[in-house]
Amino acid sequence: MSEIPSTMTASVLRGIKDLVLEDRPVPRPAADEVLVKVLSVGVCGSDVHYYTHGRIGPYVVESPLVLGHEVSGQIVAVGTGVDPSRIGQRVAIEPQRPCRVCEFCRAGAYNLCPRIEFYATPPFDGAFCEYVLIQDDFAYEVPDSISDHAAALMEPLSVGIAAAQKGGITVGDTVLIAGGGPIGVIAAQVARAFGAVDVVVSDINPARRELAGQYGVRAIDPATESTEQLGAHVFIDASGAVPAIVNGIRSVRPGGTVVLVGSADEIPLSVPEIAMREVTVTGTFRYTNTWPIARDLVATGQVDLDSLVTHRYGIEQVEEALTGEGSAGSLKRIVLPGVRRVAEPELGARA
């Protein structure tokens, strides 16, 4: 391993649409932590929202913040309580630190821990920088067959896995997904891996429908084709669009399950449609214990993440990555913190 420098470059959000590069000290791992050299970071919609609006619900950017939470890298140093043989491992990072002692953590629902620290959620820094710290057991070794980009995108894959688990998707199910963006496409792949035989992705954008169709699912235009007679066992909303959610609730069969992943604030809810058909409506908040599943789904080819990557950017181009400037038709944009600039960011769809 090369020598670890004393400082690193970080892209720092100081306020709405105010990004700067800073030299920061390379952090040192505590006893239970590993130091990871960041190799690939996916751009999430939450990163864009913080950049554009400075807040998401109760989470407000009140002090300088490093964005980015979809992360892969290589372990370059370990704390005193970590096996030094881990140095050199390529890893996918689960970007959160629960307290591990509250009632939620002890029950296994550590995603609901009231004291959790999550990358790129104020006031906790994320990974648009060259080095990050994470607790040892939240750095998952990945095989050489999994690329750096795919390892980083195990984070949104975990969102899809959590949604499938909440929905109870099983062999033979019909699954409806609203939204053909990255989460929707990933959720569709997960649904098929979990055994669903009919997976339908609904999106008003023809380009997104075309993309979803390339992953072996049915893609429909909700403006011209109704899903209310579909009789889905599970509906997953990955759109955050109120009409899509209302339609999805009507499209599940009696006893079906609605899983809300998108970020709509409020929706009109017909109590008779829920109560008289015994429809379960639930949400997901991040994930728990999904990285081993994600790793297996990618390693066995049941989920394809590399094909989602359409653009790459260096650490000096984070603002371009967040705004999508010059990336029309992009699906998933990636930041490479160890690179200053990428001369030609565009890879092309399904590269």
pLDDT average, residue stretch 175-181: 96
**What is the rounded distance in angstroms from the CA atom of residue 54 to the CA atom of residue 226?**
37
**Quick check: 123 pLDDT over 80?**
yes
DSSP three-state, residue 210: helix
- What is the pLDDT, as a whole number, of residue 262? 83
* The model scores a pTM over 0.75: yes
- What is the pLDDT, as a whole number, of residue 26? 98
pLDDT digit string, tens, across residues 217-267: 999 999 999 999 999 999 999 999 999 999 999 999 999 999 999 877 888
Could you give phi then psi for residue 166, rounded to 5 degrees? Answer: -60, -35
Domains of the chain: 7-153+305-336 (3.90.180.10), 166-283 (3.40.50.720)
**What is the rounded distance in angstroms from the CA atom of residue 303 to the CA atom of residue 230?**
25
Yes or no: say if 42 and 155 are a contact pair by the CB < 8 Å rule: yes
**What is the rounded distance in angstroms from the CA atom of residue 74 to the CA atom of residue 210?**
35
**What is the rounded distance in angstroms from the CA atom of residue 182 to the CA atom of residue 184?**
6
pLDDT digit string, tens, across residues 287-324: 999 999 999 999 999 999 999 999 999 999 999 999 98
Q: What separation, in Å, do the N-terminal and C-terminal C-alpha atoms of the chain show?
A: 30
- What is the pLDDT, as a whole number, of residue 268? 87
**Quick check: 349 pLDDT over 50?**
no
**Quick check: 83 pLDDT over 70?**
yes
- What is the pLDDT, as a whole number, of residue 288? 97
- What is the pLDDT, as a whole number, of residue 324? 83
